[in-house]
Structures are given as C-alpha cells and as structure tokens.
C-alpha cells in the first residue's frame, strides 16, 4: 500500500480534472512498461513468529539495513515506513509484510533481474538478524491476534473501519500477501479492452497462482484463501465490477464509480485524518465533514484511488491483482502471463475472443468458486484448467511476438514454463503444499517456513 504522498498537487474543483488524471496514463506502445509488485512474510528463524516493527530483529531494522544498497528512507513521523530508489520502492503492509513495488521496466528479463536483486538484498540483511522471508498467499501458522501492526497512520483508520464492512478485512490487512503487475494502455479504448480481458481472466490467474491453503496450521478448505478473503472484506470497494463490461465504459464511468466508494482518510501536514465512510463527491464540493470548507488536492484523489480493491484496478495504469504470493519463479511468471496477454495486439484480440461471450453470472461464479477449486473449477462443461491452458498459450504467442531477447538470445516465453507445467499437471502450488502437509511433513506446518523461504 502507498507511502504518504510527497506532494498534494493542484486543487480539484470539478470531475473533469479527475478524468484527466486517468487519461494522462495513455501512452504509445513504445513507452509501455512493466511494474511488478510482490509482498512477503518476514519471520524469525528460531520461533517462526512474524517480526514486529521495532527491535534489532524488527521490520524497522530490515528497512535500515536495506539502505546500505542505496535505498532512501521515507519517514512517517520518526519511523521509516518505506524506501525509494530509481523509480522503485519498498513499503510495509499492515502486518509487517514487506512489499517491493518495482520500477517501470521494459522487459520481463529486467523484471526478473530486479526481483532477484531485491530478494538477494533482503537475504543479506535478514541473515544476520536470524530472520527470513517467504512467499505464500496467507500466513500459514499465526492467528490474527499474533500479528503486530505496523506504525502507519492509514492502517489505524482502515483497521477500525474494516470490521464495519466485512468479516475478513482485518485478515486481508494482516495475513495476506500478493504478487501483481501494473501495465500501461495506449488510449481509452485500449484501456477498456485490457480492463475487460483482465477482469475476465483474473480467476484464471488466481487458479494458476493459488497458494494459500493453510490457516493457523491446518488446511482451510481453500486453495486460495487469500482470494476468498476479498469476497468478505468490503463490498463497496471489491468485486467483479459489472459496469466494466457494459456499453459506455471509459475513464468517466470509472471516475463515477470511484466517487461513490466511501473514503478512508485525508493526509494533511504529516498525519492521516479519519474520513472513513465520507464522500469524495462531498469533498469535491467543499462539504467533507472531516475538512469543512476545504477542496481536495490531486494527491487526495490519488490516495482515494489506492483504497479501492477490485481484481483489476485503474490508476494511470491497470493493476492485475488476483494472484497469491509465491515462490521466486512465480514472481516472474505473473508479469509474463499478463504482458503476453495484453501487450501484443494479436494476443489481446485472441484473449478477448476467448472471454467476450462470458456472462456476468459466469464472471461472478468464477470469482466465487475459484478460490476453493482453482484449476478444477467446473466451467462450461470442463475444468477451468482448459481455459488456463488456452490463456497461457495465447500469452506465449504474445511474448514471442514481442521478440525481446536477453543476453543469451532467449525471448520472454521461457518465463511461462512454470505455468505450462501447472496446466499440464492440472495442479496449483497450493495442492503441492497440501500433498507435503499430509505426507512428508506429517501434518506439521513448520516445514513450510523452510521450503517456501526466499
């Protein structure tokens, strides 16, 4: 989640400015970039407990240690709550999950190198701390009450508001990790097509990357419990977004949707002001109860956009948000999947042909069922794995068409090999973990902290 805004920007007086903010994301294909974000659980090696913020073995110490690699600290009060360098950032999720928000890069080769460098730096700092990090979608061992909160003002406000809207919002904040990719668009029409394909195929990504089958040391009945959690977090800001598939979808339609989502906060003078449940429409009219008579700044709009949590989120780019955190190769495979599907026109057209006749009822069915059944979810008379197989092959053709080679002369298609293996075996990562749990782990969850460590 976002660090405090560095500049509030221009004063907002009408909706046209909000639309223009999103329109400013349009750019020619030669300027499209790939931004990969991934979160990880950090824990002490001796007792496997999540790290607190403070102390010699805390998250704050990790952030301090990473500064030796040239990262610049971002402060909230006296606490370092993020780092920045060369267009990338390292930030904190509410329960101490550490996130890399990668720089906008041109190729998957560069993205994978960035992931490798970051995880190597994390290992170098955490090793002497006798701590480690791992990739899963949901904390496999510890109860919500065992997770320490990080010292960020927005999380206090969100933590108090979440239980008013759903039963699992605090679990989302404290016990989940994801990997996502952020991608560009050329025009409003290009954005709409990518948004529709992204929403339709997000359950396929969820199934391919399902990796959260444990809760408090036992199987939870899901393959992606992280994905299920979003279904009972906050109906105002999560879900399938049926209007995206309707005639008239565009930047203005998305702005209208965002304006109707209740706010969380306003950031002023180094502190977060509670505006939970209040209306950005009222704010635009100078009638926000939290700041009477004051008009919003562009930074307030950017903040508000970041508090929506659909499976695909629009800012000045599109965020693909459906995948669980996972092993190192997954962190390269997810951007490869979506870049392959969305960054080549032929692949994008083929992906749209694959999903364009799906009904809203089918979209909702997949959203509800995939967290439990993943690739085995029945869909149109076959397991969803059949659609996943097609999607992976379309992505491979899209990556091949990009013809972007590494130093060894390889294109980007090899980053999909992990996903090809999953569709061939019809098995998500969560199922392998369950096999190990019931087999060689002898129903102990502790080995996951070793075998899923980065």
Enter the CATH code of domain 15-261+308-440.
Answer: 3.30.590.20
Q: What is the pLDDT of residue 6?
A: 53
In the chain, where are the structural domains located? 15-261+308-440
- The percentage of the chain sitting over the pLDDT mark of 90, rounded to a whole number, equals 98
Q: What is the pLDDT of residue 1?
A: 53
- Average pLDDT on 427-440 reads 98
pLDDT, tens digit (0-9, with 9 covering 90-100), for 343-390 = 999 999 999 999 999 999 999 999 999 999 999 999 999 999 999 999
pLDDT, tens digit (0-9, with 9 covering 90-100), for 64-116 = 999 999 999 999 999 999 999 999 999 999 999 999 999 999 999 999 999 99
- Average pLDDT on 38-63 reads 98
Q: What is the pLDDT of residue 267?
A: 94
Averaged pLDDT score across all residues of the chain: 97
Q: What is the pLDDT of residue 8?
A: 85
Q: What is the pLDDT of residue 219?
A: 98
Q: What is the pLDDT of residue 42?
A: 98
Q: Is the pLDDT of residue 2 over 70?
A: no
Q: Is the pLDDT of residue 3 over 80?
A: no
Give the number of other CB atoms < 10 A from CB of residue 289.
11
Q: What is the pLDDT of residue 202?
A: 98
In three state form, how does the secondary structure of the chain look?
Answer: CCCCCCCCCCECCCHHHHHHHHHCCECCHHHCCEEEEEEEEEEECCCCCECCCCCCCCHHHHHHHHHHHCCEEEEECCEEEEEEECCEEEEECCCCCEEEECCCECCHHHHHHHHHHHHHHHHHHHHHHCEEEECCCECCCCCHHHCCCCCCHHHHHHHHHHHHCCCCHHHHHHHECEEEEEECECCHHHHHHHHHHHHHHHHHHHHHCCCECEECCEECCCCEHHHHHHHHCCCCCCCCCHHHHCCCCCHHHHHHHHHCCCCCEEEECCEEEECCCCCHHHHHCCCCCCCCCCCCEHHHHHHHHCCCCCCEEECCCEEEEEEECCCHHHHHHHHHHHHHHHCCHHHHHHHHHHHCCCCHHHHHHHHHHHHHHHHHCEECCEECHHHHHHHHHHHHHHHHHHCCCCCCCCCHHHHHHHHHHHHHHCCCHHHHHHHHHHCCCCCCCCCHHHHCEC
Give me the sign of the Cα torsion angle 399, 401, 402, 407. positive
Q: What is the pLDDT of residue 270?
A: 87
């Amino acid at each position: 989640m976002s660090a405090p805004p560095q500049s509030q920007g221009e004063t907002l007086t009408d909706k046209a400015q909000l639309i223009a903010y999103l329109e400013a994301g349009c750019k020619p294909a030669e300027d499209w970039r790939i931004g990969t974000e991934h979160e990880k659980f950090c824990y002490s090696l001796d007792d496997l407990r999540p790290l607190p913020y403070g102390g010699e073995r805390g998250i704050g110490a990790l952030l301090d240690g990473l500064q030796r690699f040239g990262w610049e600290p971002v402060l909230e009060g006296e606490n370092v709550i993020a780092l920045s360098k060369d267009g990338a950032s390292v930030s904190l999720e509410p329960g101490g999950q550490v996130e890399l928000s990668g720089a906008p890069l041109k190729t998957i080769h560069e993205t994978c190198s960035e992931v490798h460098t970051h995880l190597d730096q994390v290992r170098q700092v955490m090793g002497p701390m006798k701590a480690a990090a791992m990739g899963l979608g949901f904390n496999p061992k510890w109860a919500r009450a065992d997770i320490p909160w990080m010292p960020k003002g927005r999380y206090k406000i969100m933590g108090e508001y979440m239980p008013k809207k759903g039963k699992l919002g605090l679990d989302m904040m404290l016990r989940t990790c994801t990997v996502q990719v952020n991608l560009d668009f050329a025009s409003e029409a290009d954005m709409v097509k990518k948004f529709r394909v992204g929403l339709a195929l997000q359950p396929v990504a969820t199934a391919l990357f399902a990796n959260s089958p444990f809760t408090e040391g036992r199987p939870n009945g899901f393959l992606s419990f992280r994905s299920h959690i979003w279904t009972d977090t906050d109906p105002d800001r999560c879900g399938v977004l049926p209007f995206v598939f309707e005639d008239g979808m565009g930047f203005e339609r998305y702005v209208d949707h965002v304006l109707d989502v209740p706010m969380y906060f306003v950031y002023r003078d180094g502190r977060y002001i509670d505006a939970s449940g209040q209306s950005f429409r009222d704010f635009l009219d100078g009638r926000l109860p939290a700041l009477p008579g004051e008009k919003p700044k562009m930074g307030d709009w950017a903040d508000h956009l970041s508090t929506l949590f659909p499976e695909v989120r629009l800012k000045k780019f599109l965020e693909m948000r459906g995948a669980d955190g996972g092993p190192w190769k997954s962190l390269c495979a997810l951007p490869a999947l979506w870049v392959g599907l969305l960054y080549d026109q032929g692949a994008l057209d083929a992906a749209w042909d694959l999903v364009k006749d799906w009904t809203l009822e089918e979209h909702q069915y997949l959203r509800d069922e995939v967290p439990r059944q993943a690739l085995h979810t029945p869909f149109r008379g076959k397991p969803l794995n059949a659609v996943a197989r097609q999607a992976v092959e379309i992505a491979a053709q899209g990556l091949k068409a990009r013809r972007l080679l590494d130093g060894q002369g390889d294109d980007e298609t090899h980053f999909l090999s992990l996903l090809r293996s999953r569709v061939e075996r019809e098995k998500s990562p969560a199922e392998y973990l369950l096999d190990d749990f019931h087999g060689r782990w002898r129903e102990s969850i502790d080995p996951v902290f070793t075998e899923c460590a980065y």
